[in-house]
Structure 1
């Protein structure tokens, strides 16, 4: 970690690890406030690589989308020749991946409690011209007050209205088919990923799966969305309607974040209402 970080903060235990960075808990000696710090070794990243560009984009984009109640707050950036350290709000209360591992299937009301702040965070990013591009349960954190916080903008990209993006980024199971197909794409890749999360919360399994990464990608490219009766017997028509609109292969028909937030399943706060299907 950078000398600047060591001067300003006291670094404690490791709490996470990524491809290029390690996340530590730290605190400010002056205020006693605790934070998380993502420490990235720049020597591990080639100067001309896309990863180097993403490295510097992350802090810039986090400043752009902050403050927002549903996005991890950036506190400070420290740097020297070797390390880039991003000091962040500390979210101590696990992540959605952990909650899915322990709870497996969510009630519709519990799923709504996740989807509303998540989609508000995504809508906020899209209004500001930012696509996250790696929405997945590991990047959905909770703080001590159980507030949802969208994290990890390492793959995020700024866009102008009507402008398309390129590059294969994302995570198996959650990546949108247009990304895997190598086509240019827009910010609706985030809606697809959020739709996969909603499906997993309600079903306990992903909508598109396989025994290997290659098989998963093939299933995502086919995008054959199904609702097995045995699993979806108790899931409301409104919830399934929203899933069809989020996991729609036709990007022009796929919902925007704002449309998701206006869907009756979301606005009614009661996924059991059968009249909540959008015509």
Structure 2
């Protein structure tokens, strides 16, 4: 019989996965034929082991076996209670695995494993088997990561008690279990990668004497952040000497900082798990390109601001920009935040380069990533307070999905002047600031939802909200009075517009919560897949129509006084806040006068397309309607 490349040469069956050409049937047939060569002498146990063996994926999963007790040596008792005794042992032959190069089963000898000897288990087989089922032999799915892996079952020959042979979850160096992981999933990840929290904390504490920022408050914050590390993926937040940076280049400037790119000579500490277990350890990634955020007037940095840095650094998420540490410019004495470098720039930069290829499917995917990041921020009881396109960064220049995660939210909770102790000051980009905040009310999570609505507008149109307005007290008043960006209702998806409008509702209590927003965004994403449900077809229709109109609606001109970097907004809101109970006292005459002073009398804008007559007419039409 002549077999094509897509078929197994041994059994003739078609490969389930043509990319790796690995037969699943041959290994399973071997296991089935081997059933007669072993027995626990207990039918229930034999049956469970056989069932588990036939459910494996030979490429990834553990083959659960009946393991004779004489296979174990070098016993070390680790724990004992009324329910069970735990040992660490060496399994002489070790676990079996299928070698696809050799096309045969092989073993990893002298494997260190844990034995859990359940007291009196020979008298209650059913209870023992229920305990066995709490373990997993699956290694190929994320869901399997929440429980310790099982290698097999054995039996103590003297008491006849049954033994669960499982993954070693003790640190080889200190002998402790990582019991302080935040959850079972994290615990299993730490065990799998031989990462010990206690050893890591001990290393960091011993290293405290080897560095100092010469500022006790900063030293304490860094030590606090390091002391709560609970996972191999956590970034080790550090004090980084400024002489570690080279090739420093200015790449941007905001109201409160200058951003530079730089090369970090030693680079961050990263746990290397891409090697043999015995060699896994923290290593530095030298010559790492990073971003330096040099904070204006930060010589007298406040404890409140440092606590924001602490909260930011202690919580990591795939859509939140990672911060590596703090440094200080030796010349200016200003402090510097060191973070990941986002090659694609901020959302505004990225949009200018990619709008023509920014299809609605990509828009919805990016919105979902942004929502995921905001959900995380709110789950840890934080408010971003400066949520706009300048603080949404892209790791790559394009939106190639093969890169993986591309979207990062930055600067959560870090807006404003570093030395500012006045909690009444309002900072941000005016079109993204919620009306209640412009009126003097405090920032809340609902204010972040308002900002998300404006980000949705930018995603939909490619235009900044209120790009054709001067960002002054006139716009602030109009926003409070209900002005929102212009929408081409008939050319954009209604489902998307409806959600966006709910987000920017004047009343914070009427804005949807993030669970509702995320569910709708998921439905938008589902409308683009082939196996969608009936309820998604209407969404698909709306997005399809919008895609046809997309390029026709793009408009990239901007008013010369439209400012999209964060700044202090109180000069534009202080008078509005006086009239908080009767905003109409702040009349259209005053507003027009302000507009004329800025847009008409300034010769710089005399021949600008935003002429005084058009600007005034436009403003009156909008403002008088509100009165």
Q: What band does the TM-score fall into relative to the shorter chain? A: 0.7 to 0.9
Match in the other structure for 1:159: none
| Greater length-normalized contact order (CA 8 Å, ≥ 6 residues apart) | 1
Separation (CA, whole Å) in 1 of partners of 2:539 and 2:255:
46
- Evaluate the alpha carbon distance shift between residue 261 and residue 18 of structure 1 in structure 2; reply closer, same or farther with a 3 A threshold: same
CA RMSD of aligned residues (A): 3.1
Matched, 1:268 2:524: yes
Separation (CA, whole Å) in 1 of partners of 2:305 and 2:351:
29
Match in the other structure for 2:290: 35
Separation (CA, whole Å) in 2 of partners of 1:236 and 1:189:
24
Separation (CA, whole Å) in 2 of partners of 1:15 and 1:220:
32
Matched, 1:135 2:382: no
**Deviation for aligned residue 1:177:** 0.6
Highest CA radius of gyration, 1 or 2? Answer: 2
Match in the other structure for 1:155: 415
TM-score, with normalisation over the residues of structure 1?
0.79
Contact 1:210–1:219, Cα closer than 8 Å, also in 2: no
Separation (CA, whole Å) in 2 of partners of 1:127 and 1:107:
30
1:10 alignment partner, one of 246, 255, 265: 246
Matched, 1:181 2:432: no
- Evaluate the alpha carbon distance shift between residue 19 and residue 199 of structure 1 in structure 2; reply closer, same or farther with a 3 A threshold: closer
1:68 alignment partner, one of 301, 317, 324: 317
Matched, 1:213 2:481: no
- Evaluate the alpha carbon distance shift between residue 11 and residue 257 of structure 1 in structure 2; reply closer, same or farther with a 3 A threshold: farther
Which stretches in structure 2 are left out of the alignment for 5+ residues?
A: 1-212, 215-239, 267-285, 397-402, 417-422, 529-535, 541-627
**Counterpart secondary structure, 1:252:** helix
Contact 1:77–1:85, Cα closer than 8 Å, also in 2: yes
**Counterpart secondary structure, 2:321:** coil
Match in the other structure for 1:234: 491
Separation (CA, whole Å) in 1 of partners of 2:539 and 2:442:
37
- Evaluate the alpha carbon distance shift between residue 138 and residue 275 of structure 1 in structure 2; reply closer, same or farther with a 3 A threshold: closer
Match in the other structure for 1:257: 514
Which stretches in structure 1 are left out of the alignment for 5+ residues?
A: 157-164
Separation (CA, whole Å) in 2 of partners of 1:13 and 1:206:
27
Contact 1:179–1:185, Cα closer than 8 Å, also in 2: yes
Separation (CA, whole Å) in 2 of partners of 1:166 and 1:260:
30
**Counterpart secondary structure, 1:85:** strand
Match in the other structure for 1:172: 430
- Evaluate the alpha carbon distance shift between residue 78 and residue 262 of structure 1 in structure 2; reply closer, same or farther with a 3 A threshold: same
Separation (CA, whole Å) in 2 of partners of 1:225 and 1:7:
48
Matches within 5 A, 1:187-202: 187-202=445-460
Separation (CA, whole Å) in 2 of partners of 1:125 and 1:57:
15
Give aligned pairs, total: 258
- Evaluate the alpha carbon distance shift between residue 222 and residue 109 of structure 1 in structure 2; reply closer, same or farther with a 3 A threshold: farther
- Evaluate the alpha carbon distance shift between residue 53 and residue 12 of structure 1 in structure 2; reply closer, same or farther with a 3 A threshold: same
Match in the other structure for 2:367: 115
Post-superposition CA distance 1:102-154 (Å, at most 9, x none): 55685432321221111111110000011111111111111134600111232
**Deviation for aligned residue 1:5:** 2.6
Match in the other structure for 2:124: none
Matched, 1:99 2:350: yes
